[in-house]
Structure 1
Amino acid sequence: MAMTSDRIPLPRELATAVVNKAKDTSTIATLSPSSPMVFTDKDFLMFNGKSEAEVVAEGQSKSSYEQDVTTVSAKRFKVQTTTRVTNELQWADEDARTQIVQAIQLDQAQAIGRALDYVIYHGLNPKSGEALTGYDPLTASAVQVPYSEDDEIANVDALSDALNQTYDINAVALSRTWASRLRKVRVPSTGMRFYPEIPLNLQTGSLDGITAATSGTVNGAKAKTDTGVLAIMGDFSLIQWGMVRDMFATVIPYGDPDNAGTDLQNVNMVAYRTEAVFAYAVLDPKGFAVLKATTEAGA
């Protein structure tokens, strides 16, 4: 019997699309420039200049001051993200396939960037939202500023007042929650926005004259326990960080690379993995002030 064309399975068109959602980014990468790191332990010598000129009379003995020099050691951590996708992606035309693969790699690169904030700010593993052993969160050792629900302008002033006598403030990292609240503050007499530099999408580049960045990493949106953190202000040059090894991507066609319990080939999938190694040091945590609301846990 001759084979008829209606019994031949014809390939269906594979439509691909990339959905762009609001993405949290690393505020540290935005506010503190990276510096090259090598794969060795690195110590930073801390020099806190405290000399003052002395007026001396003719023949008067001259006094001196003692300068303490302390060291801060950089800490390394490795971060990775693995994404499984159907191998039907291989059937797509080259342009569509490239678009999806690029979207996956961009998504992973952004996730790795966010990890920098989660580790330094909160000492958290962003994938699990749980605390990392051996990491000191900046938000715990910085100057603590309690949040007042009655006056958002006073909260901004309280952050700066906590530092201005000792440190030069150059930037502030805002949580999406607090950026939204600040955007809604209005001048009573005119109804104009008090902080017009905060746009509707909350991605502000400045706040009250200093550089600013907004992200859910500031309050640790992935944290299992509410951090209560609303903003971090300070001298972001005190955060020294860099990549020990550049990010690299790997395509994994088989095996169980993420311990999901299934072999990739058995479920017709392929995995994309991106890895990086960071090193960082917070030279002086007291150069930062953290605006923190009271949480149920009492934080």
Structure 2
Amino acid sequence: MALSTPGITLPRSVAAAITTKIKDSSTIAALSPRVPQLFADDTVLVFDGASEAEVVAEGAKKAAYEQSLTSVTAKRVKIQTTTRVTNELKWADEDDQLEIIKRIQEDQAAALGRALDYVVYHAINPKTGAALDAGYKKLSETATQVTAGKDALDNFDNLVSAINETYDVNGLAMAKTFANQLRKLRVAATGGRYFPEIPLSLNTTSVEGITAATSATVSGVRATEPTKVLAFAGDFNLIRWGMVRDLSAEIIEYGDPDGTGVDLKNTGQLAYRTEATLAYTVLDPKAFAVLKSA
């Protein structure tokens, strides 16, 4: 008996494994200190902690601060990826229904991770490269803007300097182009590298003691319009994201599920589809700076 086609809700342990794999391709997941969790969509009250101590003379009046609270509502994002394969794989799946998960999770979970970066950084649909509607805010536009010059080391310093007077810098997300520029920098007197922690693969985990991640998603390589983004730096504690709905896998045997005009049954194919709903919010975009090429 062939594996039935209704949607299969992934067990919690498998969902957790896939969520962990997202870190392999998402700089946001890699730099956020919070391990992704299944949580309900919510509204976050932001307390900015504006008070400072006052020195007062004995018997003098004491001043106060008016503390305001702002709210930020998490944005829900439904994402899916559909992969067509020959229907011969269906028989391999009969031995164990979770075999389908093993086959799709590496490729499709990586796609889900890339989608997280594309949506938060650029408000772009990674499948088409087109911009999402105005309800999606681009961190690449709301963050403090820094324009790159010819000197990569100056660009790195200016990026961090743009925000470190008021916020902690605990994360650096780099496009591969910028990571490679930093990797090539050498000390004139010794020939040693300025950033030996950046390897040839560019997959660094830290730069000058700050947690770092490198991915093509930072520059939005799939965008139809160039983003010019080279790097983000800032307090990645202030990006909140997680799962609103469990990941689910579905096997589709009939019809044209992806609108390509090719019928699955007629061509001897199956479609494997993974869907999820994420929610994210950037509590304060000014806690981030973005470096862009001129």
TM-score by length of 2: 0.86
Matched residue, 1:242: 242
Matched residue, 1:141: 142
In the TM superposition, residue 92 of structure 1 has moved relative to its aligned partner by 6.5
Q: Kindly provide the amino acid, as one letter, of the partner of residue 142 in structure 1.
A: A
Q: Distance in 2 between matches of 1:209 and 1:129?
A: 34
Report the number of matched residues: 268
Q: Distance in 1 between matches of 2:289 and 2:240?
A: 17
Q: Distance in 2 between matches of 1:228 and 1:137?
A: 13
Matched residue, 1:14: none
SS in 2 for 1:131: coil
Q: Distance in 1 between matches of 2:93 and 2:254?
A: 22
In the TM superposition, residue 104 of structure 1 has moved relative to its aligned partner by 3.1
Assess if the C-alpha contact under 8 Å between 2:76 and 2:277 holds in 1. Answer: yes
In the TM superposition, residue 103 of structure 1 has moved relative to its aligned partner by 4.3
| Structure 1 unmatched runs, 5+ | 1-22, 295-299
Q: Kindly provide the amino acid, as one letter, of the partner of residue 248 in structure 1.
A: S
The correspondence for 1:37, drawn from 36, 39, 42, is: 39
1:213-228 alignment runs, 5 A limit: 213-228=213-228
In the TM superposition, residue 246 of structure 1 has moved relative to its aligned partner by 2.0
Q: Distance in 2 between matches of 1:47 and 1:230?
A: 31
Matched residue, 1:115: 115
**Could you list the runs of 4 or more consecutive aligned residues of structure 1 that deviate by over 4 angstroms after TM superposition?**
90-95, 98-101
Q: Distance in 2 between matches of 1:232 and 1:266?
A: 47
Matched residue, 2:57: 57
Matched residue, 2:253: 253
Assess if the C-alpha contact under 8 Å between 1:84 and 1:271 holds in 2. Answer: yes
SS in 1 for 2:165: coil
1:27-176 alignment runs, 5 A limit: 27-32=27-32, 33=34, 34-38=36-40, 40=41, 42-90=42-90, 102-133=102-133, 134-149=135-150, 151-176=151-176
In the TM superposition, residue 65 of structure 1 has moved relative to its aligned partner by 1.2
Q: Kindly provide the amino acid, as one letter, of the partner of residue 73 in structure 1.
A: T
Range moving further from structure 2, 78-87 or 51-60:
51-60
Matched residue, 2:289: 289
Q: Kindly provide the amino acid, as one letter, of the partner of residue 128 in structure 2.
A: S
What do the CA deviations read for 1:118-146 (whole angstroms, capped 9, x no partner)?
00000000000000002110010100001
Q: Distance in 1 between matches of 2:99 and 2:222?
A: 28
- Please identify the structure whose Cα radius of gyration is greater: 1
Q: Distance in 1 between matches of 2:99 and 2:180?
A: 33
Q: Distance in 1 between matches of 2:93 and 2:221?
A: 37
Assess if the C-alpha contact under 8 Å between 1:179 and 1:198 holds in 2. Answer: yes
Structure 1 residues 93 and 247: alpha-carbon distance in aligned structure 2, compared to 1, 3 A threshold? closer
What do the CA deviations read for 1:129-171 (whole angstroms, capped 9, x no partner)?
000002110010100001012x111111101110111001100
Q: Distance in 1 between matches of 2:62 and 2:226?
A: 55
In the TM superposition, residue 89 of structure 1 has moved relative to its aligned partner by 3.1
Assess if the C-alpha contact under 8 Å between 1:35 and 1:240 holds in 2. Answer: no
Structure 1 residues 190 and 153: alpha-carbon distance in aligned structure 2, compared to 1, 3 A threshold? same
Q: Distance in 2 between matches of 1:164 and 1:56?
A: 30
Assess if the C-alpha contact under 8 Å between 2:118 and 2:220 holds in 1. Answer: yes
SS in 2 for 1:212: strand
In the TM superposition, residue 242 of structure 1 has moved relative to its aligned partner by 0.7
Q: Distance in 2 between matches of 1:71 and 1:93?
A: 47
| Structure 2 unmatched runs, 5+ | 1-22
> 1:194 aligned to 2:184?
no
SS in 2 for 1:117: helix
Q: Kindly provide the amino acid, as one letter, of the partner of residue 221 in structure 2.
A: A
Taking only the aligned residue pairs, the percentage that are identical comes to 59
In the TM superposition, residue 250 of structure 1 has moved relative to its aligned partner by 1.1
SS in 2 for 1:220: coil
Structure 1 residues 248 and 91: alpha-carbon distance in aligned structure 2, compared to 1, 3 A threshold? closer
TM-score by length of 1: 0.85
Q: Kindly provide the amino acid, as one letter, of the partner of residue 289 in structure 2.
A: A
Matched residue, 1:26: 26
SS in 2 for 1:119: helix
In the TM superposition, residue 37 of structure 1 has moved relative to its aligned partner by 2.2
